[in-house]
Amino acid sequence: HAWLAQTLERIAQGWPISRIDDLMPWNFKA
């Protein structure tokens, strides 16, 4: 699950919660 791994990595690196929608699967660009 590339999306899940990338999302968790970004959150762990301090992804702003205000931009969490950018990480949702329907917005994911591989």
The pLDDT score that the predictor gives to residue 25 is: 75
| Structure-block tokens of residue 25 | 């699967």
The answer to whether the beta carbons of residues 5 and 27 sit under 8 Å apart is: no
pLDDT tens-place string over residues 1-30? 888 899 889 989 998 888 888 777 776 665
Dihedral of CA 19/24/29/30: which sign? positive
Read off the tokens for 7. Answer: 């999302």
Q: What pLDDT does residue 20 have?
A: 82
Rounded CA separation 7/26 (Å): 13
Q: What is the value of pTM for the model shown? A: 0.51
pLDDT computed for residue 30 by the predictor: 59
